[in-house]
Amino acid sequence: MNRAINQYNHLFECIILTMVVLASTSIGLDTKTINPEKSSEIDYIYGTVTLSTRTAMNALGLSEDTKIGAKATMNLTVNSIISEGCKDCIQIPAGLQMEGFVEIQNIRNDMGGLGRIEGILSITYLKEYLKENFISKEWFIINWNASGGTELDKFTQITIIHNPPKLELENRYDATFITSGQEKESRTGPWLLAKTLIGGSINAQGCFPNSISCEKSLNPDINLTSVEKSIGSPKTIPHPNSLIQINNVESTENIPSKVDGFRDLFEIKNETNNHNIWCNGNDENIIATKSWNIEMSNNNIIAPMTLWLDILNLPSSSFLQTNGIWSEIDYNNAGCASISDENKNLIFNIIII
């Protein structure tokens, strides 16, 4: 079976899919700041995600010639973490890390037959709090190491810088859900249902956007259960790699393609030669470079999978779009994109390898 990875034109859906997993935890990202009374955290997550849409299939690197309906079975260990080595942080970043085995079964193409992919999925999520409930920076790292060849591996790192710091308040989207006893169900958007089980564990079921015949069916797209443990000391990990500004680059005739799935989220206008690009210090040859002006007509907010995060009382991540410059650069084996504001300050960055 053809297992060749596509070019991740739907990278945004990759983030959405892994944030579904992230949303199945109610771990305190900083228990001293967010919820000092919390006495438990998530130990592990297990369950299945049926890739019932084209974008969900693309999210895990399954090429366009594969049919929808593959099923991912996962078992992920969860740890609260702090990071060390952040060069531009005032406070120590805190968050969570999930890592474990994922098996994707029932992969079919037009020739029939079944295929299977196994791999290790690692998700790291960090926030820096300047003071209580005020977030200055966020980091989101996805590392997918699959069997069957390195062409299926994928690394994504997202950095968000909030200037001024973003206020994070609990329960600010409660009106989005209907609560009945130990259940919470979404009022709008994709169908989502969270049930509190014996011992405080949570079972989350729901549908992908545009999934057909999923709502309240016996086989929802997403069925994940989180199991709790007593809070322990956070694990210390190295901080994600620092970003390096790439200077003295010129626009190319070729348009970068490795991060173009994100480009469509923003209101980019005319092309500009005013490049403001940050990356991970890649020493490969540059394949393509382009920049565009971002001109917002209103204050749009990007908040991927907010429903999934909020239904399980996990602080959700959001990004307020602003005027500035969107810059992209492609290397042979990596791509980077940055958003800088009108003062040329970095506010958003993504690295894909």
Peptide bond into 164 cis (omega under 30): yes
The helix/strand/coil state of 70 is coil
Per-residue pLDDT tens over the stretch 149-171: 666 677 889 898 988 888 876 54
pLDDT attached to residue 290? 95
Per-residue pLDDT tens over the stretch 92-126: 999 888 899 988 888 887 766 667 888 888 888 89
On average, the pLDDT of the chain sits at: 77
pLDDT attached to residue 335? 92
pLDDT attached to residue 93? 95
Contact 59, 14 (CB under 8 A): yes
Q: Is the pLDDT at 294 greater than 70, yes or no?
A: yes
pLDDT attached to residue 118? 87
Centroid of chain to Cα 323: 23
Nearest CA to 177 out of 192, 167, 157, 165 is that of 192
pLDDT attached to residue 89? 93
Q: Is the pLDDT at 7 greater than 50, yes or no?
A: no
Tokens for 182, please give them: 């130990």
Tokens for 261, please give them: 């799935």
Q: What are the structural domain ranges in the chain?
A: 11-238, 244-352
Q: Is the pLDDT at 325 greater than 90, yes or no?
A: yes
pTM greater than the 0.85 cutoff: no
Neighbours of 75 (CB within 10 A): 12
Q: Range with the lowest mean pLDDT among 134-138, 203-207, 212-216?
A: 212-216
Phi and psi at residue 126, in whole multiples of 5°?
-130, 145
Per-residue pLDDT tens over the stretch 173-203: 455 677 777 887 777 667 778 888 887 788 8
